[in-house]
Structure 1
Amino acid sequence: MTGWELLRPPTVDEELGRWTLKAAGDLQPLRAALREVVMSVAAAMTDRHDLVERLTIVATELAGNALRHGRPPLWWPWPAATAP
């Protein structure tokens, strides 16, 4: 039996945005800004609308959980990963 392969997350190139969240009402502006950023960065992708939808769902879930279980204000950095 072989061991588990060790994988590392991609390194961070740049931060695409940073949002400060104080309440649940801050989630809608986060989603709108994230959509705009991802659409501009992923302009060459053919399925970028699907990517935007998926990333928006993930970001909303994580940010909502952080607001629910953390202590506001929270800041939300969105890093750009290095392309393989």
Structure 2
Amino acid sequence: VAALPGAGREWNRATVTAVLRHHTVISEGRLRFEVSRHLGWPAQPLAYAVGERVWRAGRRSAQAQARAEGGELDLRAFHNRGI
């Protein structure tokens, strides 16, 4: 990390910004937004990832139940019920 322009030894705003600039192709505005979001709300990406796993597991379970009953899961109805 220290070899990257603007990067220090700590994971602070400057380091994260430098790493993202080096490893991504997102716009400067989006880069600043993502750095601020992750530094200001650090649990949000983790909560999103956990929520996605729970949602997918529920959908797989509903699909298995529908198949066991001889049908197919109506994905639109499933997602509409979840909102």
TM-score (norm 2): 0.36
Q: Which has the larger radius of gyration?
A: 2
Q: Give the structure with the larger strand fraction.
A: 1
Greater relative contact order structure (CA < 8 Å, 6+ sep) = 1
Q: Give the structure with the larger helix fraction.
A: 2
